[in-house]
Structure 1
Amino acid sequence: MGTALITGASAGLGLEFAWQLATARHDLVLVARDEARLDLLAGQLRAAAGVHVEVLPADLSVPDDVARVASRLAVSAPEERPVGLLVNNAGYGQRQRFVTGDLDRELAALDVMVRAVLELSRAAAEQMVGRGRGAILNVASVAALMAGGTYSAHKAWVRTFTEGLAVELTGTGVTATALCPGFVHTEFHERAEMRVDGYPEIAWLSADAVVARALADVRRGVVISTPSLRYTLASGLLRALPRRAVRALEGGRRGRR
């Protein structure tokens, strides 16, 4: 795959993607808002893995920043290190209700987790199809099958969009995969100020295992990647349940918070 571009690369799953891809000798383009954190990570990756690492600071809720990242993805000349793997990982949870919460925060989240995914996937797919090879990995969630407010809605869009993209890319040499993990030990919940102390340890996955499974599934051309047997079974149950039961489950979860 050559060079991989990772959004949300400075923390959480994005950070783990950076380390595993660098260890596998992939050059990297790291995208996140925190330039200082990206610079530190880039230095560590260069020293530890000896790979080429570019830093591309960007806020994916800002259209001009998304356009800059899309321009990097559009590069196709071999000497400019075209991107062979796009990891659309940037995203975050919001500890607010839709009706009473800050609408600007909701719109920014929509831009990061939906609009940016669409624009960057388009830029990457055009370049990759032109070269006849490549892969797009969009991070969704088991939450896509639930009724957890706008976050579930965003991730449901990512999942369905990726499936449709995979169909369109059939026969081009380019693949699309939606990663749908459950709870993962990262900074995600702490940053969102979400209480998760009530969930048993068995509900949690390690970031390294999730990323390793995702990359293995990308190599095999899997469209929906669901790490761990327990979340594969949970996803099957959520798909089989009547939607009113899924809504009731979400209501119960909210009541326990």
Structure 2
Amino acid sequence: MEINFWTDTHAHIHDDEYGRSVDEFISLASDKNVKRIITIGIDYDDSIKALKTAELYDNIYAAVGMHPEYADKYIRDRDFDKFFELASNKKVIAVGETGLDFYYEENPDEKYQNILFQDMADIAGRLDKALVIHSRNAAQETIKILDEAIKKHSKLKGIFHCFDGKECVLDWIKDKNFYISYAGNVTFKNADNLRYALSNTPLDRLLIETDSPYLAPVPVRGKKNMPANVSYTGEYVAEFLNIPYNILMEQLENNLQKLMKGVW
């Protein structure tokens, strides 16, 4: 089958903070050859919304999990089984977003973030689903936890979402079942570090996303982002890497198929 469409591998469309409808997102995305969207939960209630949205549309899938900024709200004895059950749904294709974020001082203590991340990785490993990783100012610590998780679940797989360009992560993923996803900020004028990382990312480990409603790419930078705009990022990446659009589309789809193991 010839691939002639993009997938937005990371968006937040199920509870849009600007009041836009899912139907609007799908229609506008289709106009730009964006035919599949993964909508991402950031806590338990939000994950339920993501799943309910995915169940209503054939071309929308969900990831369920808890963002590290809420790690101090996570109680293992109460919440692990709830997330496990939610993640077991067939329309849930990944666990997350989750991970570590040490950027803001007011973020939860590292010990709480570690517990949450370890448990989300455990759920992903048990269910053989991808782990959607948020890692900011925490690359080495993220790798350490993932290495421990892989000892328990040797086939653990995942996506470093909205990749920040850390070379240690690029080196680490090359012999693992993990992928790097670039968002619209790779198109920004001051993003030389991301473009350098992109040029060193193996094509068979590459994905793209919007992180809607954030990080709208050039030429719509500054506007409220939406899945349709992943086409701009895809076109930019193709031109930067000197690859025809259709070839990049096919490569990205092959990467997703390998990661998601025949979900589609």
Superposition TM-score, scaled by structure 2 size: 0.38
Larger % of helix: which?
1
Structure with the greater relative contact order (CA < 8 A, sep ≥ 6): 1 or 2?
Answer: 2
